[in-house]
Chain A
Amino acid sequence: GDSVTQMEGPVTLSEEAFLTINCTYTATGYPSLFWYVQYPGEGLQLLLKATKADDKGSNKGFEATYRKETTSFHLEKGSVQVSDSAVYFCALSDQLTGGGNKLTFGTGTQLKVEL
């Protein structure tokens, strides 16, 4: 079945450092790929997405490129802020029988940004 693998955390960075969170996936067909962010005690917020190979999703300074050849969707940000501290989830979307779509999530990577 489908699966998503993320680098384990926590990842601790100083403010203004460069961020990379690795994500690779296994799927049949051509799934859409997503990054979600979860702040403490809250639900998940969609951060960015890409729907086909070589698409680049971007939002709030974060970027990720859909790499079909390496089955990867790594999240990057050039300069992190303390407010970026959260748990980041990589996910892929696949069709369900009956018309819904299923998100398969990685286990999440906690990011801590310090002054």
Chain B
Amino acid sequence: SQTIHQWPATLVQPVGSPLSLECTVEGTSNPNLYWYRQAAGRGLQLLFYSVGIGQISSEVPQNLSASRPQDRQFILSSKKLLLSDSGFYLCAWSVKAGTGLNEQYFGPGTRLTVT
């Protein structure tokens, strides 16, 4: 069966510090990968998605970047955190489009607090 891991689970970082969140998927190959952010009391916003190694698309302009160095690894980064980057970050995966299966499966999330 497929599993998705995220770490760290929680993180407290000062403003201006760098960020690296990691997500890995097991039990599947060539997945689509996604980063979402959930701000307090709000829904989820898609930040980045990737359909393959080195292929990253951004949905919203922001202080963050993403990379996919391996097929099942997705990394969310920032060079300098802002207070507004605080939130709950969720990684998700799905199978390729065209299969009729388009649901996404989410990891446990990373709660980031920027102080």
Contact = CB atoms under 8 A, between A and B. Distances in A.
A45 B106 contact: yes
A101 B102 CA distance: 7
A19 interface: no
B46 interface: yes
Interface string A20-50: 0000000000001010100001111110010
- In this complex, the member of B6, B50, B103, B105 whose beta carbon has the largest number of chain A beta carbons within 10 angstroms is B103
A43 B46 contact: no
- SS class, residues of chain A in contact with chain B: strand
B61 interface: no
A62 to B, nearest CB: 15
A29 to B, nearest CB: 13
Interface residues of B, number: 29
A97 to B, nearest CB: 8
Nearest to A108: B43
Contacts of A98: 51, 55, 57
B32 interface: yes
Interface string B32-69: 10100000011110100111000101010000000000
Q: Which of B50, B97, B102 has the most CB of A within 10 A?
A: B102
B106 A100 contact: no
30 contacts: A32-B103, A34-B103, A41-B111, A42-B108, A43-B108, A44-B44, A44-B92, A44-B106, A45-B106, A46-B104, A49-B103, A51-B100, A89-B43, A89-B44, A93-B103, A96-B49, A98-B57, A99-B97, A100-B49, A100-B50, A100-B94, A101-B32, A101-B97, A101-B104, A102-B46, A105-B44, A106-B43, A107-B41, A108-B42, A108-B43
